[in-house]
């Protein structure tokens, strides 16, 4: 089945630094999504991407839909302590089909 690869499993950065996360797939997707999960909560949608090559921003977050439709990246600029959490990528093939999630990257931000 479809699989999404996110690595590394954990990232440690200093407050104020930028961080970039990548997500790759063995098959194409028509929609890419990035979610964040805070401890003890469910994932929350950060950014949705609908077209190959699309670059979308949401505050300090920027995400891009890869040209090949097999990858996406998320960039967080000027990190702050509340950016701590697990970041998941998710892919969707058809507008009404189910999501496939990556295993997530746990981000730690040192003050």
Partner 1 sequence: DAGVIQSPRHEVTEMGQEVTLRCKPISGHDYLFWYRQTMMRGLELLIYFNNNVPIDDSGMPEDRFSAKMPNASFSTLKIQPSEPRDSAVYFCASRNYLGLAGDEQFFGPGTRLTVL
Interface ranges with partner 1 (CB under 8 A): 30-31, 33, 40-45, 48, 50, 88, 90, 92, 95-96, 98-99, 101-104
Three-state SS for 83? helix
Task: Write the burial class of residue 47 (CB in 10 Å: 0-12 exposed, 13-18 middle, 19+ buried).
Answer: buried
The minimum distance between CB 97 and partner 1, in angstroms, equals 9
45 versus 80: smaller Cβ distance to partner 1: 45
* Strand, helix or coil for residue 81: helix
Q: Which is nearer to partner 1, 15 or 38 (CB)?
A: 38
By C-beta, is 47 or 79 nearer to partner 1?
47
Q: What are the two backbone dihedrals, phi and then psi, of residue 82, each rounded to the nearest 5 degrees?
A: -75, 0
């Amino acid at each position: 089945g479809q699989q999404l690869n996110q690595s590394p499993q954990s990232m440690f950065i200093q407050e104020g630094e930028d961080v970039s996360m990548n997500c790759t797939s063995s098959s194409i997707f028509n929609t890419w999504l990035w979610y964040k999960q805070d401890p003890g909560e469910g994932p929350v949608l950060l950014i949705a991407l609908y077209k190959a090559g699309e670059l979308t921003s949401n505050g300090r977050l920027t995400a891009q839909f890869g040209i090949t439709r097999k990858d996406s990246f998320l960039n967080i600029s000027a990190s702050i302590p509340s950016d701590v959490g697990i970041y998941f990528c998710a892919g969707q093939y058809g507008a009404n089909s189910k999501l496939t999630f990556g295993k997530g990257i746990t981000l730690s931000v040192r003050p």
